[in-house]
Amino acid sequence: MEREIKKRRNSRLTRDDLTSYALLAPYILLFAVFILIPVMMTAGLSFTNFDVINPPRFNGITNYLYLFTQDTVFMKYVLPNTFLYAIVVGVGGYVLSFLLAWMLAQIQALPRTLLSLCIYMPSMLGQVFIAVIWRTVFSGDQGGWMNAVLLQLGWIDQPIQFLLVPDYFMLIMIVVSLWSSMGIGFLSMISGILNINREIYEAAYIDGLRNRFQEIVHITIPSMKPQMLFGAVMSVVGAFQAGNIGVMLTGSNPTPGYAAQLMVNHIEDYGFTRYEMGYAAAVSVGLLGLIYAFSFIARKLFSAKDE
Kindly state the helix (H) or strand (E) to which residue 68 belongs, with its residue range: helix 62-69
Q: What's the Cα-to-Cα distance from 241 to each of 8, 44, 122, 262, 264, rounded to whole Å?
A: 51, 21, 17, 9, 7
- Nearest distance in Å: CB 14, another protein: 10
- Nearest distance in Å: CB 146, another protein: 10
- Nearest distance in Å: CB 2, another protein: 20
Picking from 276, 293, 289, 291, the residue whose alpha carbon sits closest to that of residue 62 is 276
- Nearest distance in Å: CB 297, another protein: 12
Closest to another protein by CB, 125 or 160: 125
- Nearest distance in Å: CB 25, another protein: 9
Instruction: Name the phi and psi angles at 223, rounded to 5.
Output: -75, -15
Q: What's the Cα-to-Cα distance from 253 to each of 176, 249, 267, rounded to whole Å?
A: 18, 10, 11
Q: What's the Cα-to-Cα distance from 37 to each of 40, 45, 51, 92, rounded to whole Å?
A: 5, 12, 20, 33
- Nearest distance in Å: CB 257, another protein: 21
Pairing state between β 48-49 and 57-58: antiparallel
List b or e across 172-186, with b for residues whose CB sees 16 or more CB atoms inside 10 angstroms: bbbebbbbbbbbebb
Closest to another protein by CB, 73 or 148: 148
DSSP state of 252: -
Kindly state the helix (H) or strand (E) to which residue 57 belongs, with its residue range: strand 57-58
- Nearest distance in Å: CB 61, another protein: 19
The residues, any chain, with a CB within 8 Å of residue 200's CB and separated by 6 or more, are 219, 223
